[in-house]
Structure 1
């Protein structure tokens, strides 16, 4: 469903934002980067099947030239994220080991990630003509972007928005 009005969302507890991706540095051998890329779908399927593992929402993107992927995911906490990454019974653990056996430091395929913990009152977002996307997809809490939520500064500062800055 596309929300046609301007909406926002708010968080009441810290939320962890995790960015992860892959960059193909050498097109050949195809099998190396393809195996790395194909490791992600089973991880996401497992996380969607088990919401108790803490992933709230995820969005994936792809760029050509050079081929690069990025996934933006939202988690209940950094502990949930770390537990998933390090648990030998979850699919990430084996994929991580397989990457270092298959690619190691040969430079053919790059992987990266960044983690941010965002506190309530320190995040701002707005959506227009959008479905449940990004942080809104994680919170599932669409709020009209009106009144004390009508501008970037007001949304970022909350009800006590400071004016004149």
Structure 2
């Protein structure tokens, strides 16, 4: 079991100074559970890409979290740059998975879907109380909440 941080904690990452911050949500929607031949290859492609990105410290991927939803799994990813995220979209590690998805989806249209949402973050605030390391703090760094960062308004302030 992961260690529990019992105090009030927040993330440590100064947008602009430490890099940009991009939150990227990507997932699949299983529309035909009875067609694992269509959705299982899509699911199986993601761990390889995440491993490749995690091993390359220059990739721009700061961290990620798998989310399991009844309609299909998805990931929350934290990136240091929109340019690095887009560079990976055209990279050799990503292209074969995307091409394979497109080939399979033509054979059974609608059996499985893919989606993504991209957010450029100008300010970010977080609080973690009695939790293991997770979210933005896991992707960046964890620090205790202090007097100057006691409230959400103080933590998100640009002053």
Residue among 65, 69, 90 paired with 2:73: 69
Looking at structure 1, the residues matched to 11 and 62 of structure 2 have their Cα atoms a distance apart, in angstroms, of 14
- Secondary structure at the counterpart of residue 38 of structure 1: helix
Match of 2:63 in 1: 57
Unaligned runs of 5+ residues in structure 1 are 161-165
Q: Is there any run of 5+ residues in structure 2 with no aligned partner, and where?
A: none
Q: Quote how far apart the aligned CAs of 1:126 are.
A: 0.5
Among 114, 120, 128, the residue aligned to 1:117: 120
Given the alignment, which residue of 80, 83, 90 partners 1:86?
A: 90
1:163 corresponds to which residue? Answer: none
Tell me the number of residue pairs that the alignment of Structure 1 and Structure 2 aligns.
152
Q: How does 1:99-110 map to 2 (within 5 A)?
A: 99-104=101-106, 106-110=109-113
Q: For residues 18-75 of structure 1, what are the alpha-carbon distances to aligned partners after superposition, in whole Å with 9 as ceiling and x for unaligned?
A: 10011101112211000110010100111111121111101001122xx321200111
**Which of 73, 78, 98 is residue 100 of structure 2 equivalent to?**
98
* Cα deviations by residue, 1:86-137 (Å, 9 ceiling, x for unpaired): 01x22x1110111111014811111100111112xx2110011222211101
Note the aligned Cα RMSD (angstroms).
1.5
1:37 to 32, 43, 54: 43
Which structure 1 residue ranges, 4+ long, deviate > 4 Å from structure 2?
none
SS at 2:73's partner residue?
strand
